[in-house]
Amino acid sequence: MDTKTNKIIIIITLLVVSSFSINNAQVFDVTKYGAKADGVTSIEQAMMSTWKKACASTSPSKIIIPKGTFALTKVKFQGPCKSHVEIQLQGTLKAPAHITTKSEGWVTFEHIDKFTLGGSGTFDGQGKAAWKLNDCHKSIKCTFYLMNLRFNFVSNAIIRDITSLDSKNFHVNVLGCKNITFLNLNVIAPENSPNTNGIHIGRSDGVYITDPIIKTGGDCISLGDGSKNIHITSVSCGPGHGISVGSLGRYAKEEPVSGVWVKDCTLTNTENGVRIKTWPSSNPGIASDMHFENIKMVNVSNPILIDQQYCPWNQCNRDASSLVQINDVSFKNIHGTSFTPLAVKLACSAKYPCKNVVLGGINLSYSGSTSEKISSECSNIVPSLSGNQSPKICAK
């Protein structure tokens, strides 16, 4: 699917969803229900009061959080609702700075159909204290902290023009959703904020991400098991760990990943570019029909990476083969600079070698300070090659 077609789909989705939100929608202003923009008093009760009224309305409704800084402890917006509901965030919602060990969301949207979240406001997770304690990149038995935004089983939704700032964990988590679009999302956290993935998707069908700016300490976008029909377009990523499928195979009964299109993106000073990662000594799985096209790399450490020996901090047996089958993958028109000499690494499973992998129009140059030449490395794969190849792919 080309970029033009992808944007047409997004426009149609916007029109369909917005058709439920008409100009004469019933408006609920949280300040009319006791919310104070003092940055101290939690507006949880005001938010829940407005949500209950909006969700129960048989006609479209809109909740407004005006300009100002509002404290919010924690809230879950739960459906189903009787009609379309829109939340317009114009100000800043600020999470508690103290630490909680629950792995839920700070702001959660659940079981909602026909929903819009917009405005130019900010969700401030105040995550600095949690980052010092977050060791999930080192340990399997770790403590999970609150994510800024969770979307659980939400369908036919538009999330647009908002900012997620300094989440304690993932910024946005998408689980069990269908037909959900993220447009012009800003994600901001420092490079040293661990596990603050920008958008993480799992077990969702039909997710569209267009024109986000993501600067974080984890993956800009990561796809877990069960991700299907995922369209990622015009992402500005960096700093961060790049755009990743996976990691996969760590848990039993993972669902297949299929239908992933990543196009027209720019990655700057990231740890990785576009990558697919699975655990060795893993549970069985399948990842197929994944396509990365027209990607610009600027000083990216690992621009193109298939890593079926993903084993951070030696949490597994690297000598065992991954049981995740990767097939039908393409990397096309990947260009720019690699910060390391090894610009392309395709390390597939010895037991289930990668199948039907295509590389075309690879034009990467080494931007590092050593005298080494740019190179590629391949194992358990025989890719199909076309067009320019710099570095030469799988050259011995």
Positions annotated as catalytic residues are 241
Using left for φ > 0, alpha for ψ between -120 and 50, and beta otherwise, residue 195 falls in left
Q: What's the CA gap between 115 and 84, in Å, rounded?
A: 6
Task: Judge contact between 301 and 315, C-beta under 8 A.
Answer: no
- Name the E strands within 234-349: 236-237, 243-248, 257-268, 274-278, 285-300, 304-307, 324-338, 342-347
Q: Coil, strand or helix: which one is 80? A: coil
**Residue written as token pair 């690992």:** 302
DSSP 239: S
Tokens representing residue 277 in the block: 């990662």
Q: How many CA atoms lie within 13 A of 396 on its CB side?
A: 2
Q: Any long-range contacts for 49-53 (C-beta under 8 Å, 24+ apart)?
A: 51/77, 51/85, 53/28
376-386 as b/e: b if 16+ CB within 10 A = bebbbbebeee
Q: Which residue has the tokens 């026909």?
A: 114
Q: Report the 10 Å Cβ neighbour count for 318.
A: 12
Q: What is the CA radius of gyration of the chain?
A: 21
HSE toward the beta carbon, residue 391, CA cutoff 13 A: 24
